Structure 1
């Protein structure tokens, strides 16, 4: 970001922690004086893949706190500030982008808590999109498929095989850059008459085929 001529800073925080969420927003405002964009990208998978009938409350609590509760209340905090800035004519528009997953609709019975958080994030996107539309704040969802990352590294062999067998029409792993490009496009403001939309970054996995 700095190399491209912008300003950047890192602020370590857990979105699952209310104090950290407040500190994150306060730090951003202190450093930059405004907030135009929130990308809810923090996420973790199930704490050990277990059959649905063996799922634990411990994993449920950790995954829901990070993947759903945290993004919801961080969005609430940031949206309040965005509304204040727009009403004060400090900014004209703002954007929230939620990064979910094909697990929002594709069942994995050994990752129930993860799937459920991603399904709920879709409704969260619609809720914020509806509530904030009149304030000129657009809310979108980016839905990645099988992306090469630390999270998918342990199941690399499994998905290598599935992709080769035609899991998605585009037979390759997705790259983090694919997701970043989708987020950047939505954040750019080129879709002013759209909100609540989902942009699939999944190689066509979402297409129902016979």
Structure 2
């Protein structure tokens, strides 16, 4: 069993999940990387984690498959013998952007199954482990839920995603309240418009948005900026906070006049 804290980061093959893994490695964590299926992205993430000073191992599983959560957690525990942190980052967007009146049940269910329902039961499974395990001396135990600015801000052409992320925000609050007395911190990070493979198809749209004063910081956010925020929360550097929501969005969701 490692003497270092260990974090499981779901959806860590690229984008925000990968950046979070690297930032945690820089903070002294070893990493259990995760994707729904193994691919070359995890190899890249593993190399970046190692370069940042951490060890890594990889597990796979579908977050939406709640009947598989126990197996997924068992595999993750087997990598280093312990888990101290979960970064619940895995998520999906809509199948097709379009009119709210044309949203399909398939796309709605997909967003809910991964972003809300799967999240809830993964946190439930992970929490049971934390409460039954011995904490590592002088290390904060934590859960960081990666939601979205769309937990608050309406995006009319992807309503099912907004609904699922609003649900994810409540999941974070619920578990934060349940676990506070046990010294386990639960936090929510709300990324804004972040440059990742998921947002790449909307490059032209968001370039124009920033050029038209869409946000106080007139540029895309970087995955590394979100990753550093996640690592700060995971390590317990915001003491005496419960269910804290941190918007990493360049002021996107601020009300302006």
- TM-score scaled by length of structure 1: 0.94
2:224 paired residue number:
177
Tell me the CA shift for residue 182 of structure 1.
Answer: 0.7
1:186 paired residue number:
233
Tell me the CA shift for residue 40 of structure 1.
Answer: 0.8
Q: Which of 187, 203, 221 is the equivalent residue of 1:156?
A: 203
1:11 paired residue number:
59
Once residues 200 and 4 of structure 1 are traced to their aligned partners in structure 2, the CA distance between those partners, rounded to angstroms, is 25
1:25 paired residue number:
73
Tell me the CA shift for residue 123 of structure 1.
Answer: 1.1
Q: 1:202 and 2:228 equivalent?
A: no
1:169-198 CA distances to partner (integer Å, 9 max, x unpaired)? Answer: 011101111110110110111123111011
Tell me the CA shift for residue 19 of structure 1.
Answer: 3.9
Correspondence list, 1:97-108, <5 A: 97-108=144-155
SS at match of 1:9: strand
Once residues 89 and 62 of structure 1 are traced to their aligned partners in structure 2, the CA distance between those partners, rounded to angstroms, is 35
1:60 paired residue number:
108
2:6 paired residue number:
none
1:147 paired residue number:
194
**What's the C-alpha RMSD, in Å, of the aligned pairs?**
1.4
1:62-97 CA distances to partner (integer Å, 9 max, x unpaired)? Answer: 111111111111110101101111xx4556641000
Correspondence list, 1:86-105, <5 A: 88=134, 93-105=140-152
Tell me the CA shift for residue 14 of structure 1.
Answer: 1.1
Q: 1:77 and 2:125 equivalent?
A: yes
Tell me the CA shift for residue 50 of structure 1.
Answer: 2.4
- TM-score scaled by length of structure 2: 0.77
Q: Of Structure 1 and Structure 2, which has the larger fraction of its residues in strand? A: 2
Q: Which of 123, 126, 132 is the equivalent residue of 2:170?
A: 123
Number of aligned pairs?
Answer: 208
Preserved CA contact (<8 Å) 2:140 2:234: no
Tell me the CA shift for residue 18 of structure 1.
Answer: 2.1
Which deviates further from its counterpart, 92-101 or 74-83?
92-101
Tell me the CA shift for residue 56 of structure 1.
Answer: 0.8
SS at match of 1:131: helix
Structure 2: stretches of 5+ with no match in the other structure: 1-48
Structure 1: stretches of 5+ with no match in the other structure: none
Once residues 207 and 135 of structure 2 are traced to their aligned partners in structure 1, the CA distance between those partners, rounded to angstroms, is 50
Distance 1:54 1:186, change over 3 A: same
1:128-179 CA distances to partner (integer Å, 9 max, x unpaired)? Answer: 0100011111100000100111221111101100011111101110111111
Once residues 65 and 151 of structure 1 are traced to their aligned partners in structure 2, the CA distance between those partners, rounded to angstroms, is 18
